[in-house]
Chain A
Amino acid sequence: MHALSRRRFLKISAGSVAALGASGVIASGFARRASQAAEKGTRTVPTYCNVCFWKCGAIATVRDGKIWKIEGNPLDPLSNGRLCPRGTGGIGANYDPDRLRTPLIRVSARGKEQWKEVTWDEAFDYIAERMGKIKEEHGPESVALFSHGIGGTFFKHTLRAYGSANGAAPSFAQCRGPRDTGFELTFGTGLGSPEPTDIENARCIVLIGCHLGENMHNTQVQEFAAAVQRKATVIVADPRFSVAASKAKHYLPVKPGTDLALLLGWMNVLVTEKLYDVDYVTEHGHGFDEFCEAIATCTPEWAAAETGLNVESIRETAREMARHRPATLVHPGRRVNWYGDDAQRSRAIALLNALLGSWGRKGGFYTPSMMPIPDYPYPPYPETKRPKVDNPDKRYPFAGDSITTGIREATITGKPYPIKGWFVYATNLIQALPNQEETIRAIQNLDLMVVIDVAGSEIAGWADVVLPEATYLERFEELHIGPFKQPFVGIRQPVVEPPHDQKPNWWIAKRLAEKLGLGAYYPWEDVEDYLKWRVEDAGLSYAELKEKGILLGEKEPLYFADGVPAEFDTPSGKIEFYSEQLAEAGFDPVPRYTPHEEGPPGSFRLLFGRAPVHTFATTQTNPLLSEMMKENELWLNAAVARRLKLKSGDRVRLRNQDGITSHSIKVKATNRIRTDCVYMVHGFGQTAKGLPSAAGNGASTSQMVTRYKVDPLMGGTAVNVNFVTLESES
């Protein structure tokens, strides 16, 4: 931790280029700028956004060789022609002063951050040599990939060709994994991304800690606003009076950590007052009687005592939900790794939806469809000799995906087998994984760590080799084929050239494979050959796709009523109100509430969330977006603030239960939060010297997360279990 907070990252940007006199790099940069300056007039290029995982279709406009603006592609069913602020501000990343310009190799001890600039060839030689050694000494499975987003596709491919299937994204165990597990256990299907929530047609929307409008999941925010417009009933349970709460008919200021009690209380009301969808439950439900029995004691009175809410509001909101069913959507949320029983809480959300009959129904959850585009016919991958390392012996029996922290643990312990190489693509693990100290410990055990990124992020600071990637506006990418209401395929294509020696991910992955002697796995010469093959093999026109940016498929049925078969991929083939598989594995077959540990007296539970202008810890150096929000603030109840003699704008430091002190952060004294918790937006308080424009702005949530609770069902790492006190800086 201490090591981390004192980290110094070489000035990878302007400074080092000048200092090291990499004249070739500078010259090519100038030449390109000159050629861009020569371009006159305006042109547009359709592409899709990369500032978050939603991947909205977009159209970039170039004026006189410079990206002027980027707008939504009206053909895109996700964005309907309107991006979110991050998408609109995405062009700022191209002018990010902290961009990496050329490959770097570490020249002294890890963490000292001393680098030399190298050519791509030198970087690949270095990586290939180390990978060869790891393969020889430990086997190819000892190299793992951490990646986020669609850009990881080709790296996955290269590593599979090399012989390792070990790879994970923080989006599972650190984000939406528990939710997908909970829904899968109940309906037999996870939710994926985008979630098949039919907000558009919902008449009642229930948000539990889900702050739509502050998280800018574009389609959902658009549909949510439309729902508010047509006066759909909104119910929000959140310790914080979120933006969504301000649109709600019912706001329930639930005590943090007690959401499951609220859910059980609601279900108890629906069952005891016979307000649930009896036909639906009878037809599709399994184990309903056992379920009723299990929640019989979860009366609204009991729930009220646990949650700090009043009984009537619990009853009234349950009745309100029933009034609008099946068009009542209890939103599953997205980042739900809160308290360690998150899969069970998500399962309770799934069950509540089941009681309301909203799964498979209009205004509830629809059945998405995808454009049938074939995979590229690559040669088969070599067989991996050892199972994946992240979840040995199915320790987390219901994990539906790989667990990042499992790979981290194997890297630290060497068990079940050692992990000696990390590839990290487009994810800042320092901020994304809980307990930074463990991450750093794992890194110290590696023989090779390669980071591919656009900017000199914190994780790049720990790398042996840093490879500079072209931004999404400068590269081709894998096709975007998302599950949605209407099948579609989107293309990302370069709008402008990279300004320096940055390269697109496909080029990096392909070149690396060639260096590793795996060139046969890349039968195509240029990524456009690859894209064209896939698109045309699906019977579509590649030229048309390039021109329009998006091609739409035929609409397919969305609901049971339109002919979607009411099938559930669970052991019973039904909606599992009672889960035998959970019981067999020794877990509660029906979610059961256990009160969570409270913090020491005088401390606040630390909660966090998103801001509409930032994505995780990746956009803080984007000059446009950082101007919108340069630092985060600490939300503190106004009355508590008065008691602590703090006012908005005062600076404090957080001190967590393990004695870790945060960077300085501004107080936002507000009546929009409970007295027992504090809240801040994730992604700030970065320390990397490679990000001079972001370093030191606000406080880091991750730094405060020294404690985390692992979800026993699926290995998710719950982080809302840390408590802080405040130290005034004035």
Chain B
Amino acid sequence: MPLEFTTTRDNPGIDPVLNAWLVAVPIDLFVVAIAAGLMVLAGLHLLIVRPTKPQPMATCTVGPMLGVILLSVGLTALFLKLSHKLYVWQLYLTFEPTAPISWGSYLMPLSYGALLLNLVAHLPVTLPQLAERIPVLARISGVIFARPSRVIALGAVNLGLGFSLGIYTGVMLSTLHARPLWNSPLLGPIFLISGLAAAAAVLHAVLVAVARNERRTAKGKSWIDRLARWTGGSKPDAAIAPMLRWGIVAFLTLQLVVIGLYFVGMLSAPDVSQRAVTLLLAGPQALLFWVLVVGVGTVAPLAMQLLEIGQKIRATIIPALLVLIGAFALRYVLVFAGQESHWTRGIAGF
């Protein structure tokens, strides 16, 4: 039966399509997920290696440094998207267990702390000049490495918080029940896995860049050399590179599987979900999703990494760039398509 629906409501930011969260949100989700991935990788690495003194492990030197930067960007983006900024302190006068953002508001500074602690712990190898200039930082590092249990705790904290933070970026969306596209428990895992893949790809790219730098350029001329001289940092240990490579393969494969499961779940759910997920199967957002997220961002880098492992192609930073593009596109598409998805407007109950 033909059906016409009209409404007189025309609220800015709400109608005709919800536009409450702008581009700051996918940026925030993107950088925070990479930071979370970096934390997980660092935590795992610490727990596996259990070093007794700072070592130039890329996961614990480059990782937390990038993590701190990314989390700072994320927190800035988050702050910028608030429309009633002067009241942001209200977040810390309460804890709302049913509100993911309340969890997030505590997870973020805690993660910041964990990243900083790991950064400081490894400062003597990451930025020895800085560590020398500020002895207290070196002392903290010493305190941490004084006992294996403290290193394990550092690893566990980074692993736990990173895991939570990665999941959180998805849960924040999936609990917003009114946007059916987000209503999948798999959104947390997808965002976590995507963050892990991106983190592994970034670290791998750093190692690739350093290795290529050594092979190709005259000593001391490249920006990497200048950076190394300026920081006085040690060269990151390349031993982890094969592991990272396999990690990327595993995470991207897992990401494909979980995205597949997400579609299976949505398409077998009530019609609201089915209608919502068609936003990803047809229409303008679908193109972005299949080309950028699945094609460019997952399948292509996966194939390239497998070829690298099989030594069919040389290692480059290209797969990492593709993974990053995919990871951002994933969040961008989901944030905007999600806001377009809705329960049937006005049709029910007639």
Contacts and interface: CB of A to CB of B under 8 A. Distances in A.
A671 B2 CA distance: 8
B8 A671 contact: no
Interface string A613-635: 00000000000000011000000
Interface in A661-675: 668-671
A599 B4 CA distance: 29
B8 A670 contact: no
A648 B4 CA distance: 10
A628 B4 CA distance: 20
A671 B4 CA distance: 8
Nearest to B8: A628
A348 B4 CA distance: 36
Contacts of A670: 4
Contacts of B6: 668
Interface in A624-656: 628-629, 638, 648
Interface of A: 628-629, 638, 648, 668-671
Contacts of B4: 638, 648, 669-671
Contacts of A648: 4
B2 A638 contact: yes
A668 B5 CA distance: 11
10 contacts: A628-B8, A629-B8, A638-B2, A638-B4, A648-B4, A668-B6, A669-B4, A670-B4, A671-B2, A671-B4
Contacts of B8: 628-629
* Complex A-B, nearest 5 residue pairs according to Cβ-Cβ distance, in ascending order: A670-B4, A671-B2, A638-B2, A671-B4, A628-B8
B9 to A, nearest CB: 11
Nearest to A633: B6
Nearest to A630: B10
Interface residues of B, number: 4
B330 to A, nearest CB: 32
Nearest to A670: B4
B335 to A, nearest CB: 26
> Which of B2, B4, B6, B8 has the most chain A CB atoms inside 10 A of its CB?
B4
A628 B9 CA distance: 9
A668 B2 CA distance: 14
A668 B8 CA distance: 13
Interface string B1-33: 010101010000000000000000000000000
A634 to B, nearest CB: 14
Given A638-B2, A670-B4, A671-B4, 7 more contacts: A628-B8, A629-B8, A638-B4, A648-B4, A668-B6, A669-B4, A671-B2
A307 B274 CA distance: 47
A668 B6 CA distance: 10
A669 B6 CA distance: 11
Contacts of A629: 8
Contacts of B2: 638, 671
A642 to B, nearest CB: 10
A648 B5 CA distance: 11
A672 to B, nearest CB: 8
Nearest to A668: B6
B11 to A, nearest CB: 11
A671 B5 CA distance: 11
Nearest to A629: B8
Nearest to B2: A671
Nearest to B4: A670
Interface string B212-224: 0000000000000
Nearest to A639: B2
A61 to B, nearest CB: 25
A687 B4 CA distance: 32
A58 to B, nearest CB: 24
A648 B3 CA distance: 13
A668 B4 CA distance: 10
A638 B8 CA distance: 20
B3 to A, nearest CB: 9
A722 to B, nearest CB: 26
B259 to A, nearest CB: 34
A629 B2 CA distance: 25
A628 B2 CA distance: 27
Nearest to A627: B10
A670 B8 CA distance: 16
Nearest to A649: B16
Contacts of A669: 4
Interface in B215-238: none
A552 B42 CA distance: 86
B184 to A, nearest CB: 32
B167 to A, nearest CB: 41
A133 to B, nearest CB: 52
A553 B250 CA distance: 89
A319 B6 CA distance: 36
Nearest to A671: B2
B346 to A, nearest CB: 14
A143 B65 CA distance: 88
A629 B6 CA distance: 13
A628 B8 CA distance: 7
Contacts of A628: 8
A705 to B, nearest CB: 27
A628 B10 CA distance: 10
Nearest to B1: A671
A671 B6 CA distance: 13
Interface string B191-217: 000000000000000000000000000
B319 to A, nearest CB: 45
A515 to B, nearest CB: 48
A265 to B, nearest CB: 31
Nearest to B16: A649
A432 B107 CA distance: 66
Contacts of A638: 2, 4
A599 to B, nearest CB: 26
A86 to B, nearest CB: 15
A671 B8 CA distance: 18
Nearest to A638: B2
A670 B3 CA distance: 9
A629 B4 CA distance: 19
A67 B2 CA distance: 45
A669 B8 CA distance: 16
A443 to B, nearest CB: 38
Contacts of A671: 2, 4
A194 B57 CA distance: 89
